[in-house]
Amino acid sequence: MRSYTHIVTGIIFSLLIMFISGIPVNAFYIFIAGAAAVIPDLIDYAFLAKHKRETHNIWILIGLIALGFVNQIFIIVAAAYLSHLILDLMTYHGVRLFYPFKLTNYVVMSEKNRIKTGTNREKALFFFLCIIMVGGVLLSYQVFSLIDSTVASSGTTEVIGNNSTNGTAKTYINVAVDIDESMLNKNVSITNGQNGTNIIVTEVNPGS
């Protein structure tokens, strides 16, 4: 598989692992996932002079998973590395999963269904994965939730005036509060204990 296909797939796998593990998604982790997805090939070309896939084995994956218990960044790297193995298992050459103990090249599909590097079949897979990746990134950053919450807030909250005294900003907002008859014509203070914000209801109208 080409590097661009590995990068996109590595990001997808990493987003999935981050979602399952509850790891916050950020640009740094996405970059690490994309870089880690091509590291096996870079090591092959740098130290072995050609792509023998001897660095594509299950032992490295197990080591990365073990390191994930020390630092969560290795969970991202392990996910990207796993995606690389899976993609190469779909090629004609396969992967030496148990190297150096076994030199067998393992594949997961019949010969006619395997993907040859650089062909239109790989390009079609790449564009399909790009769509999934973009959707995953958008959902992970909660873009749609942010838009929905902004629209909802603008429709339910009405700011009727701002006042600043001694450098402290105060905002007066219309708030619907359920009260009983004994509270009519009384000021009601609502305190948010997390940030110390006070909401003062200065007028209560019955039946509103």
List pLDDT tens digits, range 75-96: 999 999 999 999 999 988 888 8
Q: Are 152 and 146 in contact (CB under 8 A)?
A: no
- Residue 136 and residue 35 share a domain: yes
| Radius of gyration from C-alpha coordinates of the chain | 28
Mean pLDDT across 188-196: 55
- Residue with the bigger pLDDT between 153 and 114: it is 114
Supply the pLDDT for residue 165.
47
Enter the tokens of residue 191. 């305190």
Mean pLDDT across 167-189: 55
Coil/strand/helix, residue 44: helix
pLDDT tens figures, 9-54: 999 999 999 888 888 888 899 999 999 999 888 877 766 656 566 7
Q: Which residues of 52-82 are buried (b: 16+ CB within 10 A; e: fewer)?
A: ebbbbbeebbeebbeebeeebbbbbbbbbbb
Q: What CA–CA distance (Å, rounded) separates 182 from 199? A: 20
Q: What CA–CA distance (Å, rounded) separates 10 from 35? A: 8
- Residue 190 and residue 123 share a domain: no
CA distances from 42 to 38, 86, 115, 132, 163 (A): 6, 17, 21, 25, 61
129 falls within a domain: yes
Q: Where are the beta strands (DSSP E) in the chain?
A: 159-165, 168-173, 188-192, 197-201
- Residue 176 and residue 125 share a domain: no
Q: What CA–CA distance (Å, rounded) separates 27 from 34? A: 11
What is the domain range of residue 111? 3-147
Supply the pLDDT for residue 163.
47
Q: Does residue 104 surpass a pLDDT of 80? A: yes
Q: What CA–CA distance (Å, rounded) separates 22 from 133? A: 18
152 falls within a domain: no
Supply the pLDDT for residue 134.
86
Q: Identity (one letter) of the amino acid at 128?
A: F
- Residue 173 and residue 143 share a domain: no
- Considering 147, 166, 190, which residue would you say is the last residue of a domain? 147
- Considering 124, 147, 170, which residue would you say is the last residue of a domain? 147
pLDDT tens figures, 136-146: 887 776 654 55
Supply the pLDDT for residue 157.
43
pLDDT tens figures, 134-174: 888 877 766 545 555 555 555 444 444 444 445 455 555 55
Q: Does residue 207 surpass a pLDDT of 50? A: yes
Supply the pLDDT for residue 102.
86
208 falls within a domain: no
Total number of domains constituting the chain: 2
